[in-house]
Amino acid sequence: SQKIEQNSEALNIQEGKTATLTCNYTNYSPAYLQWYRQDPGRGPVFLLLIRENEKEKRKERLKVTFDTTLKQSLFHITASQPADSATYLCALDHGGSQGNLIFGKGTKLSVKP
Amino acid sequence: NAGVTQTPKFQVLKTGQSMTLQCAQDMNHEYMSWYRQDPGMGLRLIHYSVGAGITDQGEVPNGYNVSRSTTEDFPLRLLSAAPSQTSVYFCASSVEFRSPRQYFGPGTRLTVT
């Protein structure tokens, strides 16, 4: 069955550094991959989508890469700020009949001033 | 637009009680879904609907019922609450089935004692 893993439950970095979060998947070839941000007590909010034929996508300080050979996506936040502290979820196109997406468990990012 | 709204925000039930979690969206989205989120686990799909009058089961449907009489509303019913249903429930919508970007509601935190 499909499996999606985000490499760590928590990531602590210093303000101004680049945060890199990893999403790996197995037994699967998704048409696209998405990243969401979730703040405590709130619902996930869509950030970026990258399709299988795209290598990289950027939005302001955010960058996502998608390597279908390695079955991996990297999510980068450059010049990180304390306001970037949140949980970041990776989600894959399910490709089947059971709804749209499969979500990873998330990585909690803490940016220290 | 209010987006996706959910009520109530918090609820405590006793084992065996029933209740309905409300979800509404004002974006004229065809696709709506319910997820539950538990500590250490990703979002898991409970039920989804591709349009008014059409519903289907997701990954963890047992103990839950849904209906979709209008495009706007997608209530989730717990028939006989169990402690295992203690969770945070999120409703989400997208333009149509296979539209990747999901819009999430703020969530309902449910505790079953």
Write the DSSP string, B78-102: ESS--GGG-EEEEEEEESSTT----
Residue written as token pair 């619902």:
A43
Report residue B5 as tokens: 């709204």
Q: Which residues of B touch A104 (CB under 8 A)?
A: 42
Q: Encode chain B (113 residues) as per-residue pLDDT tens digits.
A: 889 999 999 999 999 999 999 999 999 999 999 999 998 888 999 999 999 999 999 989 999 999 999 999 999 999 999 999 999 999 999 998 778 899 999 999 999 99
A104 interfaces chain B, CB cutoff of 8 Å: yes
Strands B108-112 and B31-37: unpaired
**Which chain A residue's Cα is nearest to B42?**
A105
